[in-house]
Structure 1
């Protein structure tokens, strides 16, 4: 019985040992398989980084304006009686553009004219008295004092008449100032007030475009002016008629930055205004700029690290990847332009980057083109 029990125990122990060996072998196989799987190269697409002279199309929207403008206003304040023109009207020299109420000025003019009439009559009477005193003095019928007094009165009346004439001139000028006349042939580009509105002295009322010369004005971001080369020629096209292209040259760049928008006003001279293009029309201005040589990569090549934009670069000898920090010059549709952090000729992963980690073994399925 003892021998039989010992044999049974040995057999059980042997079975347990064999099971443990099988488990160990199985686990070792799993570890080996995992190691082999980890070393299995990941298939990716890559591109060879190459520098090229990049270009970009700069396009902004502006407005057609008159090159020479004149803003008209009333010299004295008052209530607007009428505005005789609208935006876009063509006026000739001497045409009435606007009026203010002139009741006070007309009353002042009538009073001034009456004052001139009275002063003229008084002067004529004083001169007649002086002539009579001269005649009497020659006959000895009056005194020198009386004659000199008449002469003094004549001079006083002359002065009163001169003042009355000056007042009349001022009254006439005040009445004239209630009307704005066109100084020359022009086009109305803006009216700033409406009938019935009370305005102050020299408040803008109407703006005129003098002559036919026009410019296109653009509000250009300051950063764009500092980062681009000087541009001479600009391609223009009305937004309503984009196929009607014409050209202009940069005439003036404002030295001041608009603090509200952060933009700089740039005027583009248009030598020949196309038919159908009017003041105030919206126009698109475009120019192509050649920039410094940059490495151009497809947008899908870009990854990111804790420090910013990065790309995965393949070591051609080991076929393992590493994450390289890059400096992006700018982003364009479908591509990124790299300013630094990447050497020309480097193999950059363009597809499969989301599955990578440092030192990952890869194989290149295909090299993509830019």
Structure 2
């Protein structure tokens, strides 16, 4: 019984091994047959209207990427011109002011007293001058009559001239004291909006301490640094389309001024572009966009539509062959790259030669397709072509 059981177990093990080997060989055979079988070839693709566009003759602007900061043409930091305690501040951030409006006052008590003192000194000097003048006039008569010497007359003249000089000095001192008193009142140098209030009531400030910041939002410009090589092609009057703080909308700016020299250290050349007045523009915003350097009339397609996975660049077009549409590859020569200033938010365009105006071009989002692949549209071909033309325009 023991021998029979042993042989039975051995037989079961051998059969299990044989079955496993057979299944492995069968699986490999199936894999080889699957690999040897020809792959299914795609013969048809369906496209949406947004997958195609019409390549037309268009005006594109060759551009230079720029970025910079929006700054007010008139911007002032209002500082204390005299030291003292801030007695009054009449404005806060965001308040609109007019030229000459009183913005703040520094305690004028000390400066009023100094002005009064200077005025009294000027009055005293005037009295001394009058006395010296009468003395000199009297001595002139006495000299003519021979009662006093010429030396005494000259001395009285010198005293009179000294008194005149002292009077003028006293008047000048009074003017200086009056200016210090006037400087205790801070006024707006131009109309604008308060951007910053840096001092508070009761605070004691020194000379040149910042009190307020004032900006005039009616005239704004973008200060953009360029490398010396980029600045060579920039001219006054060129137009740029800019985005402010990555907003989807664009604003137009025009080159107003160009710095005549490169900055020390950074070697950058500053270019100033005047912004058209618009609601919501603020001093200090970040701006970026494209500065138009030159315009070209070319057959234009989106830059992504030009494929470079072959030795020569090409575009994929849809051609009508008989009664059906199919994909064709057209080699092209790439020209200038730029943007359409009428649609600055659109993809960059590139001028190409090698395709005819009116050709239906596949966009870059479609990807690479086999040449000769049959094409159908989600709508009628006529409607698709019309929609593609509208997208291109």
Q: Which residue of 1 aligns with 2:258?
A: 255
Please give the residue correspondences for 1:172-191 in structure 2 after superposition, counting only pairs within 5 Å: 172-182=178-188, 186-191=191-196
The aligned counterpart of 2:125 is: 119
Alignment of 1:43 with 2:43, yes or no, is yes
Deviation readout 1:12-31 (Å, 9 max, x if unpaired): xxxxxxxxxxxxxxx9xx98
| Match of residue 52, structure 1, among 56, 59, 64 | 56
CA distance in 2, matches of 1:352, 1:279: 39
- Shift of residue 85, structure 1, vs aligned partner: 2.7
* 1:365 matched residue in structure 2: 374
SS of the residue 1:155 aligns to: helix
Cα deviations by residue, 1:284-323 (Å, 9 ceiling, x for unpaired) = 9999x997322459x7x7877498987678999xx99989
Distance in 2 (CA, whole Å) between partners of 1:132 and 1:97 is 55
> Which stretch shows the higher mean deviation, 341-350 or 80-89?
341-350
For residue 157 of structure 1, what is the aligned residue in structure 2? 163
Q: Distance in 1 between matches of 2:288 and 2:299?
A: 25
User: What is the alpha-carbon distance in structure 2 between the residues aligned to residue 164 and residue 217 of structure 1?
Assistant: 48
Listed one character per residue, the Cα deviations across residues 110-138 of structure 1 (whole Å, up to 9, x for unaligned) are: 44223213322322333344455567668
What pairs with 1:23-38 in structure 2 (closer than 5 Å)?
A: 34=36, 37=38
Judged with a 3 Å threshold, the aligned counterparts in structure 2 of structure 1 residues 124 and 54 are, in CA distance, closer, same or farther, namely same
Aligned mates of 2:317, 2:127 — CA distance in 1: 107
Counterpart CA distance in 1 for 2:241 and 2:148 is 92
Specify the SS of the correspondent of 1:164.
helix
Partner of 1:194: 199
Distance 2:315 2:332 in 1: 7
Cα distance in structure 1, aligned partners of 2:363 and 2:255: 46
User: Retained in 2: the 8 A contact 1:214–1:269?
Assistant: no
Partner of 1:207: 214
| 2:91 equivalent to 1:91 | no
C-alpha displacement at 1:176, in angstroms? Answer: 1.9
Measured at CA, do residues 261 and 88 of structure 1 come closer, stay the same or move farther in structure 2, by a change above 3 Å?
farther
Q: Deviations for 1:311-349, whole angstroms, at most 9, x for unmatched residues?
A: 678999xx9998979969589999885645964569979
* 1:168 paired to 2:177: no
Aligned residues: 310
Q: 3-state DSSP class of the match of 1:42?
A: coil
Consecutive unaligned residues of structure 1, counting only runs of 5 or more, are 1-26, 243-247
Aligned to 1:18: none
SS of the equivalent of 2:167 reads helix
Q: Distance in 2 between matches of 1:347 and 1:147?
A: 109
Contact conserved, 1:253 with 1:266, CA < 8 A, in 2?
yes
CA distance in 1 between counterparts of 2:361 and 2:77 reads 67
Change (3 A) 1:146 1:308: same
Whole-Å separation in 2 of the counterparts to 1:189 and 1:147: 64
Report the CA distance shift for 1:309/1:219 in structure 2 as closer, same or farther (over 3 A).
farther
Q: TM-score when scaled to structure 1?
A: 0.52
Following superposition, the deviation at residue 52 of structure 1 comes to 1.8
**Per-residue deviation, residues 165-209 of structure 1 (Å, max 9, x unmatched):** 12212221232233233467x343544643447566597954364
- CA change 1:53–1:220 in 2 (3 A) is farther
**Structure-1 separation of matches of 2:89 and 2:239:** 41
State the 1:66 CA deviation: 7.2
Distance 1:335 1:324, change over 3 A: farther
Q: Which residue of 2 aligns with 1:4?
A: none
Secondary structure, in 3 states, of the residue corresponding to 2:373? Answer: strand
Deviation at residue 162 of structure 1 after TM alignment: 1.7
CA shift in 2, pair 1:234/1:80, >3 Å: farther
Q: 2:80·2:209 contact (CA, 8 Å) conserved in 1?
A: yes
CA distance in 2, matches of 1:349, 1:85: 57
| Structure 1 vs Structure 2 CA RMSD | 6.5
SS class of match (1:194)? coil
* Higher Cα Rg, which structure: 1
Alpha-carbon distance, 1:366 to partner? 1.9
